[in-house]
Amino acid sequence: MAKKPETSSRIADNKKAAYNYFFEERLEAGLVLQGWEVKALREGKVQLTDGYVLARGGELFLIGCQINPLKTASTHVNPEAARTKKLLLHKEQIQKLVNKVDQKGYTLVPLNLHWKDGRVKCEIALAKGKAEHDKRDTIKDREGKREVERAMKVHHR
């Protein structure tokens, strides 16, 4: 029996995260979801930009991630768009992350939601906040790259 190729496709990205934080370490975590949430994710009805990760009682939770229910949601389920979702990681990984967040002023930020082998995964990062001048540098670098690309495009015509 042939092994299935690994399939991975993005559902949602947190584009603000790269602007606001420096990433130290990235991890992929599983996500505990309800059935209506999975259906809404297949339709792309999710917003991750206001989300953050919080540690409580040795567990990690994704807070502020909006999954908007479909209009065809079941009548016996009361969908809550901003429900707190549990992240699934090994205890050692959670403990290591919690220790770093407590000691060094790091925070945990969700980067994206994606499909992996038929399951929804959340990529989280151990991140440190950027200062205002770092954010300006990020914008300046991005605009510089755009200018170079434009010049190369005009030059190749």
- Domains of the chain with bracketed CATH: 10-130 (2.40.280.10)
Q: Please say whether the beta carbons of 8 and 115 come within 8 A.
A: yes
Q: CA-to-CA distance for 152 and 157, rounded, in angstroms?
A: 9
Pick the more confident residue, 78 or 96.
Answer: 96
Q: Compute and round to an integer the Cα radius of gyration of the chain.
A: 19
pLDDT of residue 5: 45
pLDDT of residue 3: 47
In a 3-state reduction of DSSP, which class is residue 99? helix
Reply yes or no on whether the pLDDT at 74 is more than 80: no
Closest Cα to residue 120, out of 56, 39, 49? 39
Reply yes or no on whether the pLDDT at 106 is more than 80: yes
75-79, 86-90, 128-132: least confidently modelled range: 75-79
Tell me the pTM.
0.73
Q: Please say whether the beta carbons of 66 and 113 come within 8 A.
A: no
DSSP state of 31: E
Confidence of residue 76 (pLDDT cuts 50, 70, 90): low
Q: Please say whether the beta carbons of 14 and 112 come within 8 A.
A: yes
Write out pLDDT tens, residues 22-71: 888 898 988 888 888 888 888 888 888 888 888 888 888 988 888 888 77
Give the CA distances from residue 121 to residues 45, 52, 112, 133, in Å, rounded to whole numbers and listed in that order: 16, 15, 8, 33
Closest Cα to residue 122, out of 5, 10, 3, 4? 10
